Structure 1
Amino acid sequence: MRFIFKLIRFILTPFMLLSEKLTTPKGIQRDQASQAKIDADCLQLALYEFKACPFCIKVRKEIARLSLNIKKCDAQNNPVHRQTLAEGGGRIKVPCLRITDKNGDVQWLYESNDIIIYLQQRFATN
């Protein structure tokens, strides 16, 4: 049974990634100063993802639409990122947004819709 799911993923992955590439929206255009401030704010964020996860693709599209330069961490193929996600977030589930505040406190936000709402509230009006 596991083999069947791996085979299906193997077959579908290129199509999912191509679809993402073709349907990712253009980013919001901001003046240089505004974009520089947003880029600085994004240094406090990291998205833990699996490349072909449909929910991760959904979040990456919103990140592109909002013109955010958020670090992406491959938790599927990179054992360091996977371990960080497991230890910090408490589980290996993606997508997960790591949010570090000004005091250095870290919050782990799971669920694609929650991540998208957070990003829209924080960056869509800037």
Structure 2
Amino acid sequence: MKLFFRLLRAVLGPVLLLKERLSHPAGMQRVYAEQARVDKLCQQLSLYQFKTCPFCIKVRQEMRRLSLKIELRDAQHHAENRDTLLAQGGSAKVPCLRIAAADGSVSWMYESNDIIAYLRQQFGRK
């Protein structure tokens, strides 16, 4: 069964990446000061993801639409990222958004739709 999914991922992965590259959405335009504020807030965020995961691609596309510079952490090929995700987030599931608050607390958000809703609420047009 694992072999089947590896083969499926190997075949579909490049197709999904090509589709992501070809359907690159235009980013939101902000005045310089507002974009600088958004960039500073994004430094508190990191997205644990797999490059070819369709749900991760969906989140990355929304990040592009919102012009967000969020650090991407590969949890598929980097064991340290996967281990951090499992130890601190509680599950090795992706996508997962790590949110560090100003008070030093950290929360972990799973589910692509929840992550997108959060990003739109925080950084979308008011």
Q: Displacement, 1:24?
A: 2.2
> Tell me, what secondary structure is at the counterpart of 1:68?
coil
| Deviations 1:91-115 (CA, angstroms, capped at 9, x unpaired) | 1000000000001100000000000
TM-score normalised per structure 1: 0.97
Alignment partners' CA distance in 2, 1:24 and 1:120: 18
3-state SS of the aligned residue for 2:12?
Answer: helix
Q: Structure 2: how far apart are the matches of 1:18 and 1:40?
A: 30
Task: For residue 5 of structure 1, report the CA deviation from its aligned partner.
Answer: 1.6
Query: Bigger shift: 42-51 or 4-13?
Result: 4-13
Q: Distance in 1 between matches of 2:103 and 2:28?
A: 29
Letter of the structure 2 residue corresponding to residue 60 of structure 1: R
Q: TM-score, normalised by structure 2?
A: 0.97
How far 1:30 moved relative to its partner? 0.8
Counterpart of 1:67 in structure 2 is: 67
| Aligned-residue offset at 1:81 | 0.6
Distance 1:99 1:81 in 2: 15
- Compute the displacement of 1:35 (Å): 0.4
Gaps of 5+ in 2: none
Runs of 4+ aligned residues of structure 1 deviating over 2 Å after TM superposition are none
1:105 corresponds to 2:105? yes
Aligned partner of 1:35 in structure 2 is 35
The one-letter code of the counterpart of 1:62 is E
Give distance in 2, aligned partners of 1:124 and 1:102: 20
RMSD: 0.9
Identity %: 54
Give the Cα–Cα distance (whole angstroms) in 2 for the partners of residues 125 and 119 of structure 1.
11
Partner letter of residue 83 of structure 1?
A: D
